[in-house]
Chain A
Amino acid sequence: MNAVLAIALVAVAVVATLVVLTRDNPAQTIVLAFYGLVLSVLLVLLQAPAVALSQIVVGAVAVPMIVLLVLAKSRGAE
């Protein structure tokens, strides 16, 4: 395992922990999107560019967008 890969693996673990530790929902969504990006970098390093692209569009765009919309809806109902 080379150094870059080790850094990427540690970064994924650190950002994933940050997602859990961020308790404020809208902020957590942004951290979750950032986690999606970090994970996609790891996938590129592991020579899986096709999976990395799916990870970017789903993990960094689609899921955070849907979560933010749900948050907006549930706040409106309060």
Chain B
Amino acid sequence: MSERSRRLVFVVSALGFGALLLWGMAGLPDFGLHESAYARLLDSTTVARRHVTDVVTATVFDYRGIDTLGEEFLLFTAAVGAILLLREQRGEVDRPPDDEGLGRVAVPMSAAVRFVGVALIGPVVVVGTSLVAHGHLSPGGGFQGGVALAATPFLAYLIGEFRALDRSTPWPLVETSEALGAAGYVALGILGLVAGVAYLENVLPLGSAGSLASGGTILALDVAAGLAVCGAVVVLLREFLHQTLIVRRQSADGRPAR
């Protein structure tokens, strides 16, 4: 395609897109007016019907639970895809990580970074666990808490070497948590079918609103999502780090190339 026809295609599609965008934005409610009929309905009925105080989590893990199932498997598929694509392929060899390669002196970590890293690990674990455990009571939930928890092994990497991260992280446990979380979500949905109602319908005891053990399957699905997300993010970043630091294309003489 010539430069001129490409520009023509761009101008036509940009104009069309712009017109549609303006049309859509003209129909939006005024700034700050965000109470749709659906939002009002959920706000007024969720606490009474589902015994949870965070309407967002109730929507994500109950009313729209099937959408979240798709989202969770999106992340799961991304992690499995990364493992498959970034596995060691023919013509690639492992070499020592940059920070312990021959003739290389690792950049000395400043005491401040080490101190902040060590000091952060504990609080991040507490915040992550709390976000997951209180997903049905306050803002947060399995997704946000899972990513926060997944940050801890990489704090360990920040203050140490890749080998330390690789050795200190229980990889089988991480992969099991990812698989268990994803499978648990599906299994909790089947619980509804067993009880004779719809898939993913909330069939567990609801408890009393505001207490930690409340919400029925909402809390259970929230924890399952937390496990799956934490496992998936750790696996994803581990694969990227491994690919960046260890794997190198083999050069003609069989030695790893830079």
Contacts and interface: CB of A to CB of B under 8 A. Distances in A.
A73 B98 CA distance: 11
Nearest to A71: B244
Contacts of A72: 244
Contacts of A69: 237, 240-241, 244
Contacts of B241: 69
A53 interface: yes
B23 interface: no
Contacts of A3: none
Contact of A53 (B31, B140, B154, B244): B140
Contacts of B147: 57-58, 61-62
A49 interface: yes
B60 to A, nearest CB: 8
Contacts of A62: 147, 233
A47 to B, nearest CB: 8
Interface residues of B, number: 23
Contacts of B185: none
Given A58-B147, A72-B244, A53 B131 contact: yes
Interface string A24-61: 00000000000000000000000001101110111001
A52 B139 CA distance: 9
A76 B143 contact: no
Contacts of B243: 73
Contacts of B57: 50
11 contacts: A1-B31, A50-B54, A50-B57, A52-B139, A53-B144, A57-B147, A62-B147, A69-B240, A72-B244, A73-B243, A76-B244
Interface of B: 31-32, 54, 56-57, 98, 131, 139-141, 143-144, 147-148, 151, 154, 233, 237, 240-241, 243-244, 258
Given A57-B144, A57-B148, A76-B98, 9 more contacts: A50-B57, A50-B141, A50-B144, A54-B143, A57-B143, A61-B151, A73-B240, A73-B244, A76-B244
